[in-house]
Chain A
Amino acid sequence: MSKVTRRGHRRRSPAMSVLLHGTLILASLIAIGPIAWVLLSSLKPGYAIQSSELTLFRDTTLANYRYVLTETNFPRWFLNSVIVAAFTMTIGIFLSATTGYAVSRFNFPGRRPLMMVFLVTQMFPVAILIVPIYTILARLGLINTMPALIVAYLTIAVPFCAWMLKGYFDSIPTSLDEAAALDGCGPFATFWRVVLPLARPAVAVTAFYTFLTAWGEVAYASAFIQTDNKFTLAYGLQQFVPQFNPQWEYLTAAAVLVTIPAGLVFFFAQKHLVSGLTAGGTKG
């Protein structure tokens, strides 16, 4: 019975089906295409990449990866990136969640201005903020350290995440909070033990977003980090590429290596992406 009333499913004509799947397959190809092409190219030696002949495989080799992994400071940069991204993610989730919860649940003085501030921070061009932030970090003695990057990335990611989480918290009934309060939970315990576990999808999206922000950022990393052993992956990998004669074979391999961890985080978060953003957008 329920199958019959399911909207549209039974009445779709074969032609419509073909059109629907055709469009989606085309869209999927476009979505995967560039990633797949870079992956295929990374397996070719330099001369094969630079030829105008169109081939999927040619003299397949892992030499590009071997070069990137052994001839550069790759492992060190990888570790740096993991540290920066992990801290940004953990602290970012914590800060966005507490802020989002406070803004969602309590009608405290300063609540509306704070929401506006979150929106306005999105309007500042990063390229222009770099210099003043550099000055401040220099004064705090944080230049060329990882905390500098973590803090800078938090300013990028947290306002949007807090905004999104606020929307999700709004969709969790306040009666749950009240019940917890009756059971003797303070506001922090209510948040930590009752509301946060229910917001798992939104937290997953926050984790994904904060991780990606820290993982792929180049501008701040190039401004605040000065020594080779402190580089993050995103910035470090551009170091061995001369500006006017890019070594595409190493670049493609590096691009694949940088994308893999992001893809892993995506894999764990993707199940929650749609439901996590659901309420996120509905109420600003």
Chain B
Amino acid sequence: MTTVTADPAPPSTPPGRPARPSRLRRSWEKHWYAWAMVLPVVIVLAVLIFYPLFRGVWLSFTNLTEANQVAEICTRSITGGEVCTDNPNKWEFVGLDNYVRVLTGEVGEFWQWTGVTLIWTFVCVACHFGLGLGLANMLNRPMRARGFYRVVLVLPWAVPAFVSAFAWKFIFNERFGLANALLTALGIDPVSWFADRWTALLTAIVTNVWLGVPFMMVALLGGMQTIPSELYEAAEIDGASAWQRFRNITLPGLRPVSMTVVLLGTIWTFNMFPIIFLVTEGQPAGQSEILVTGAYRAAFEGIRNYSLASTYGVLILSILLVFSVFYRRVLRKQGEVW
């Protein structure tokens, strides 16, 4: 693991005790440039990600809101001076109250949002991966206009998420959207997409799938190009069918890439804020809300409730941590070192 091989705690060091400082120095001399190279990133992450995280965990055990955050209430007196008194409703430590309130459904709809989030994440990642794999497999063979297809199919990646959200919301507009116009042209009654929970969710999923397939496709295509072509040639000589080659060479060869992108895709989709927030806006009546958007509305609409936001943040992070630990364990069991 490290280069340090000596016993880390020798209490009976010989006189002069050169061991410890010199080992530290040797470690420093050997690694200082590596540390120097990562230092800026570590500082920025520590200040802007980890400090907020620990503060968030602490806040989730308090009842801090916008209304009770000040320690003193100051009022101007008639003479022009300021009189400050202690805030009687100052925020305080409340233990697990926030968690109880969230998990029992006293505030927000934690379980409903979690359910929607799980459906949303599963369907989106499955479609991303399935479509990405299919398209990558098609693009991985020699044919005419391959370069053209590749550029066009990656194009949605270049569109900023809020623009795609807007574009699809425009398409799914009930009165003049393209989707309903096409349905009408086909002789089907127009659908009021955002009046039903499932059609509303469908619009968001379509948007997110459209947005997310290019990344999967590119990553998988890259993975496919690292598979040695001799394997395919040998298989072909042995008379393996296209499907057999796909199952027995392409899929195993893609395993490392797939595992990484599926994990990343799951995390990103789980926390995908702008799509739900802008496309469905939780319609109808908050039923298409996922955890991050639901938490955002519950905590920040009206008086900003910082402690509630933190509680949701901690819960979301815990779910994802448990998921990735579990995921890694399954991978380990299958012999994947990752």
Chain A positions near chain B (C-beta within 8 angstroms): 5-9, 17, 20-21, 23-24, 27-28, 30-32, 34-35, 37-38, 41, 49-54, 95-96, 98-99, 101-103, 105-112, 114, 117, 119-129, 131-133, 136, 151-152, 154-155, 158-160, 162, 186-188, 191, 208, 212, 215-216, 218-219, 234, 248, 251-252, 255, 258-259, 262-263, 265-266, 270, 273-284
Contact = CB atoms under 8 A, between A and B. Distances in A.
B94 interface: no
Contacts of A37: 167, 170-171, 178
Contacts of B226: 278-279, 282
Given A95-B44, A127-B295, A262-B160, 9 more contacts: A9-B142, A133-B52, A191-B37, A219-B273, A258-B163, A259-B159, A265-B158, A277-B219, A278-B223
Interface stretch (B6-14, B81-89, B104-112, B259-267): B259-267
Contact of B34 (A7, A102, A158, A270): A102
B166 A251 contact: yes
Given A37-B178, A98-B37, A219-B273, A274 B225 contact: yes
Given A28-B153, A38-B170, A121 B49 contact: yes
Interface in B1-23: 1-4
B55 interface: yes
Contact of A132 (B34, B51, B141, B210): B51
Given A52-B176, A212-B160, A7 B153 contact: no
Nearest to A278: B222
Interface string B297-334: 00100001010011011001100110010000000000
Interface of B: 1-4, 27, 30-31, 33-35, 37-38, 40-42, 44-45, 47-49, 51-53, 55-56, 135, 138-139, 141-145, 149-164, 166-168, 170-171, 175-176, 178, 180-182, 184-185, 210, 214, 218-219, 221-223, 225-226, 229, 232-233, 236, 242, 256-257, 259-261, 263-264, 267-268, 271, 273-274, 291-293, 295-296, 299, 304, 306, 309-310, 312-313, 316-317, 320-321, 324, 338
Contacts of B310: 128
Contacts of B151: 270
Contact of A34 (B30, B40, B158, B168): B168
Contacts of B161: 216
Contacts of B236: 7
B170 A131 contact: no
A92 to B, nearest CB: 10
Nearest to A255: B163
B41 A284 contact: no
Contacts of A101: 37
B223 A131 contact: no
Given A28-B153, A281-B257, A266 B223 contact: no
Given A34-B164, A278-B223, A152 B48 contact: yes
Given A101-B37, A129-B52, A273 B218 contact: yes
Contact of B141 (A7, A23, A128, A251): A7
B167 A30 contact: no
Contact of A158 (B41, B153, B291): B41
A175 to B, nearest CB: 19
A284 to B, nearest CB: 5
Contacts of B45: 117, 121, 155, 158-159
A107 B30 CA distance: 10
Given A34-B210, A151-B44, A27 B49 contact: no
Contact of B176 (A49, A136, A259, A274): A49
A114 B42 contact: yes
B33 A188 contact: yes
B309 A128 contact: yes
Contacts of B142: 6-9
A219 B165 CA distance: 14
Nearest to A24: B149
Contacts of B42: 114
Closest 7 pairs (CB-CB, A-B) = A216-B160, A132-B52, A128-B313, A266-B158, A278-B222, A106-B34, A281-B257
